[in-house]
Each structure stands twice: as structure tokens, then as C-alpha cells.
Amino acid sequence: MPDAPPGPSAISGTTRLYVVLGDPVAQVRAPALLNDLFARTARDAVLVPVHVGPDGLAEVMRGLRRMHNLDGILVTVPHKIEVCRYADLLGPAAEVAGSANALRRNPDGTWLADNFDGAGFVHGLRDNGHDPAGATVVLAGAGGAGRAVAAALLTAGIARLRLYDPDSVRREDVLARLDARWPGRVTVGAQGDFDGDGADIAVNATPLGMRPGDPLPFDLARLPHGCAVADIIMKPAETDLLRAARESGRPVVYGRHMLDSQVLLYEEFFALHAPERNGRWEP
């Protein structure tokens, strides 16, 4: 009698592999979310975290690209900008932002990179009652996620974006990318120049808040009292910034909303739809 096929949570020689790369990786929620999706769709696949620092990224990416049973790579801090070097093709969001948080192997063996941080963030904002259209937004962080969030907010129709980052080279690179598509709607400044005057939404897209004792990424006192405060950090679920904003009476948007919205986009990108799903989901 032949062996029964493996169950959805079993790992065998036929299991397809996915990884999430980061430094650190203890905070990532993708394994729980994607492995649950694999189980619900009876897909013989597993996603595991891979902890790799910047000095090892090139070597790890070369190895991953040569693995025949690896179908997808998710990317978190601090690799979202650098990982674009190892893609053969860039999707539209990655092209604009210059960063990626997902790569997939195409049928011809090439690797396509794209970025769903921005679309997931905007969808999470709307789900929490904050439509960014026409808003003035202040954003701390011009790294891989920050620049993707910035591009998605501009696509969603915000009126103005003030973006702050301590790295002058990164600031100018982001400004050039965004100003080419949305001229006159973006200004950049150093972290110490933060100005929240007139802001409708304030966003932390830096790693500040992941570790105990981190300083706040910006001064809440510089924001209007009704300004919504959002953080893209997943763990802790409530950062010091969000706790202080909530205690001050300001509306808050948690980091988990960005990732929860992205799961639907990952289904599309990696073709992981459950059998009953037919339509496309649009952010």
C-alpha cells in the first residue's frame, strides 16, 4: 500500500521552501501568518526565518538563488534596499521605492522583487478609519520600508509629505526618486529638524522602538492633538511611541495592520490563493 501524502503541516522531500531574511528576525510575524496560510490551503510548503547580517547577505542570496526547491524570499530590516541587487527584475513598487520586501522565482528561473510594505500600510490606515487622501504626512525613516510607505502614501493622494532621516545620502536618494514622480510634494530633513506642524498623520518607519530604552523617533509634542500616529514595528505590538500617543489621546495605528493587509498581497504575488478565491484584491 503506498504511503499517504504528507499532511499540510508535514515536511517531506517534496516540500517547497520560503524564507524571511532579517537582522534581527526574532520579531518577524511572517512565519506564523504564511505557514497558517499554507496549512489552510493544503499547500506542501513551509516558511522559516533566516538570521543574516549585512556582511553575509550577498553570500546567503547567492546560495538561496541556487536552491531548486526555494520559491520565495521575504525581506525585513535592514536588507530591503540592498536585496534589490540580487533580483533579475523589479516590480513597479520596488522600482519606485528602490527597496523590496518579497522576491519570487519565476517559471524561467529569474527572480522578481517587489515591495508590498506601502500598499499594506495604506490599506491598514484605511481599515482604521484614516484615509490618507489630501492629508499632510510626516514620516520618520527613509530606509527600505519608509521609502515604500512614502511612495504608497503619495500614490494614495496625500497632499504633502515631510520625510526625516539622519542619513543625508539616503534622504537625497529618496527625494530624487519621489520628486521625479510627484514633483513639489515631498520635502526631506534630518531627524533633528522634525516639524509636525499641521500634520494629519505621523509615521514611524525607523527601527526605534524595537528595543527597550530606544528613544522616540519624534517628539509627540510637535504634533497636533488630533494627528493619527502610526508605527510599522510589529514587536512589541505597542511601542513606546504608540503607548505615549494613545495616552495623550491621539488615535494610533499598530504595525500589525500593515502586515495583516500584506498577506492578501503575498497570496497574489506567490500565487497562494485558497481554492475558493477567484478575484484579485486591490489595496
Judge whether 17 and 45 are in contact, CB under 8 Å.
yes
Cis peptide before 24 (omega within 30 of 0): yes
Is 227 buried (19+), middle (13-18) or exposed (0-12) by CB count in 10 A? buried
List all residues 6 or more positions away from 255 whose beta carbon is below 8 Å from its beta carbon: 231, 232, 233, 234, 237, 239
DSSP run (H or E) holding 47: strand 45-51
- In the set 80, 104, 105, 177, the catalytic residue is 80
Instruction: Locate 93 and state its grid cell.
Output: 513598487
Judge whether 103 and 73 are in contact, CB under 8 Å.
yes
Distance CA 162, CA 176 (A): 14
Active site residue 80: yes
Active site members: 80
